[in-house]
Amino acid sequence: MSTAVRVRGLRKEYPGHLAVAGIDLDIPDGEVFALLGPNGAGKTTTVEILEGHRQRTSGEAVVLGEDPGTAGRAWRARLGIVLQTATDAAELTVAETVRHFAKYYPNPRDPEEVIDQVGLTAKAGARVKSLSGGQRRRVDVALGIVGRPELLFLDEPTTGFDPEARRQFWALIDALAHEGTTILLTTHYLDEVEALADRLAVIARGSVVAEGTPATLGGRERAEAVVRWQDERGDHEERTPFPTKLVSQLAADRGELAGLTVTRPSLEDVYLDLIGEQP
């Protein structure tokens, strides 16, 4: 399998500020990869360098086989980009806007189908200007996917979405991933990462502080479990690295246990720990 994104020692210095402090990343073809980190961590800067929208100070970057700092129009047509800031709303309708963008690409998706996929069919005839913030964001997503990209960059794509729109968006990303689209996503929503990402990297102060799958980040799967149950004496809670053993002992001694739960740290617990450990 080839690598859609390969980054080594990536650095970006703004005057007086090191925004990206030497990042390594490998994203294989077809993977959904999430970048997570607090405000100002360097996610957008990193993504903009990979999109060819910003020059790096040093380091190596290869995106779909080319250096994003010098790659041309044919390369750009293979990318889909949903920026953090929304597209300027013109006088055009949703359908006109999506059809217009489709013409820039050699092998676009059907604009009507795309409008349907982002849940805007009922608004197809409305001017983009008249839409709500969340609906405009859906237009951004439509414009990001209409060119049938091999690699899709999504910078905080669901900010402003209502819960139903987020679920619909997740289903769309799943469908794109099934078709083989590689996706690089930045988000602040940990449930979004758990729902969508094959792997993620946590960035803090310009550096990758942890990388893994949502289930294993920061040794999450090996962390102590909390076993809770109830009996006639009240609620019980025990921490153990071996919950299976504890539960089978309890079951052998007492039979069925009321209110039994076994929990390990959530992705959010692990994430906050990683961020908190920053000097």
Ligand X SMILES: Nc1ncnc2c1ncn2[C@@H]1O[C@H](COP(=O)(O)OP(=O)(O)OP(=O)(O)O)[C@@H](O)[C@H]1O
Q: Which helix (H) or strand (E) holds 118?
A: none
Minimum distance from CB of 85 to ligand X (Å)? Answer: 10
Minimum distance from CB of 42 to ligand X (Å)? Answer: 4
Number of residues forming the site for ligand X (CB under 6 A): 11
List the strands of the sheet with 225-231, edge to edge. Answer: 234-240, 225-231, 258-263
Q: Does 17 bind ligand X (CB under 6 A)?
A: yes
Task: Check residue 172 and report its DSSP letter.
Answer: H
Q: What is the DSSP annotation of 11-38?
A: EEEETTEEEEEEEEEEEETT-EEEEE--
Strand 151-155 and strand 79-82: pairing? parallel
User: What angle do the packed helices 94-102 and 133-145 form, to 10 degrees?
Assistant: 20
Q: Does 157 bind ligand X (CB under 6 A)?
A: no
List the strands of the sheet with 182-186, edge to edge. Answer: 79-82, 151-155, 182-186, 32-36, 199-204, 207-212
Q: Does 14 bind ligand X (CB under 6 A)?
A: yes
Residue 251 tokens read as 């079951």
Minimum distance from CB of 179 to ligand X (Å)? Answer: 27
Q: Does 218 bind ligand X (CB under 6 A)?
A: no
Site for ligand X (CB under 6 A): which residue of 44, 97, 135, 182? 44
Q: Does 233 bind ligand X (CB under 6 A)?
A: no
Site for ligand X (CB under 6 A): which residue of 7, 10, 34, 43? 43
Q: Does 85 bind ligand X (CB under 6 A)?
A: no
Contact 185, 154 (CB under 8 A): yes
Write the CB contacts of 20 (distance below 8 Å, at least 6 apart in sequence): 10, 11, 12, 42, 45, 46, 49, 56, 206
Q: Does 57 bind ligand X (CB under 6 A)?
A: no
42 versus 265: smaller Cβ distance to ligand X: 42
Minimum distance from CB of 39 to ligand X (Å)? Answer: 3
Segment contacting ligand X by CB under 6 A, of 39-47, 86-94, 177-185, 220-228: 39-47
Q: Does 45 bind ligand X (CB under 6 A)?
A: yes
25 versus 146: smaller Cβ distance to ligand X: 25
Write the CB contacts of 69 (distance below 8 Å, at least 6 apart in sequence): 49, 52, 55, 56, 61
Segment contacting ligand X by CB under 6 A, of 35-43, 171-179, 219-227, 243-251: 35-43
Q: Does 207 bind ligand X (CB under 6 A)?
A: no
Q: Does 158 bind ligand X (CB under 6 A)?
A: no
Q: Does 19 bind ligand X (CB under 6 A)?
A: yes
Q: Residue 64 and residue 4: Cα distance in Å, rounded? A: 5
Q: Residue 7 and residue 22: Cα distance in Å, rounded? A: 9
Site for ligand X (CB under 6 A): which residue of 2, 39, 85, 107? 39
- Contact set with ligand X (CB under 6 A): 14, 17, 19, 37, 39-45
